[in-house]
Amino acid sequence: RRLVKRLVPPHSPRAHPLLEMGSSSRGPAGRVLATLGLLLGALSAWKVQLRGFAGEAAFAPVGHKSWQDQARIGRPSVIARQAVNDVTTLSGLDEAIEKTASGEPNVLVVSFSTTWCGPCKLMDPKVKELSEIFSEKATFLKVMGDKAGTEGIQIMKREGVRTVPLYQIYKNGEKVSSISGADAEALTRNIEQHTGMKAS
């Protein structure tokens, strides 16, 4: 009886009922119940996982994934391309505008935002979605006006940004449109107009 008890996983929430009955019964019937309980316990959904170099044993249900397995599953094998890139300097913005005059894509969408702007955060998922839809037709950049270590405030002053969110569209090196406020429909419509492509 003691041998049977030791074979039950120590961290199991509960031994099999037949094993408990066998442990509390005496005689041949008790031994039969204990044996059946042991067999059923062996077939139950438990397994031993060895962790670390110390050989520490732990029990977990079959199909259970350790935190190491979950971390591996959650980690992308390839880093996805960032759809909306940050621009932090005046020269960086100027270079992006110049590129629209000399190659493809010839459309640039610049988002102006701040860290405290609630409507900007509401628009961010939509802008990201649009950047993926128009990935072959337009480049998307984002200027954070109050982000430390950047020239965001200087960019906004030069571009005359007084309210956020604000979206400016450049084509062939020239500013062709400006959309003020969290107006996803107006932004989509203007991008469609200047790229010649429908969002849906």
Please indicate whether residue 120 is annotated as part of the active site: yes
Query: What is residue 61's three-state secondary structure?
Result: strand
Q: Which of 15, 117, 130, 156 is catalytic?
A: 117
The single residue listed with the structure tokens 């110049």 is 98
pLDDT at site 30: 65
Q: Which helix (H) or strand (E) holds 139?
A: strand 138-144
pLDDT at site 80: 40
Please indicate whether residue 117 is annotated as part of the active site: yes
Q: Letter for the amino acid at 128? A: K
Residue 178's closest CA among 198, 157, 164, 195?
164
How far is it, in rounded angstroms, from Cα 192 to Cα 112? 20
Q: pLDDT tens digits for 151-195? A: 999 999 999 999 999 999 999 999 999 999 999 999 999 999 999
| 16-37 mean pLDDT | 59
96 phi-psi bin (left φ>0, alpha ψ -120 to 50, beta other): alpha
Q: Residue 31 pLDDT more than 50? A: yes
| 27-33 mean pLDDT | 67
Over the chain, what is the mean pLDDT? 76
Q: Which of 15, 93, 120, 127 is catalytic?
A: 120
Q: pLDDT tens digits for 40-82? A: 655 553 343 333 333 433 333 333 444 344 444 444 333 344 5
Kindly state the tokens that stand for 192: 């469609």
Beta carbons of 71 and 51 less than 8 angstroms apart: no
The single residue listed with the structure tokens 């959904």 is 45
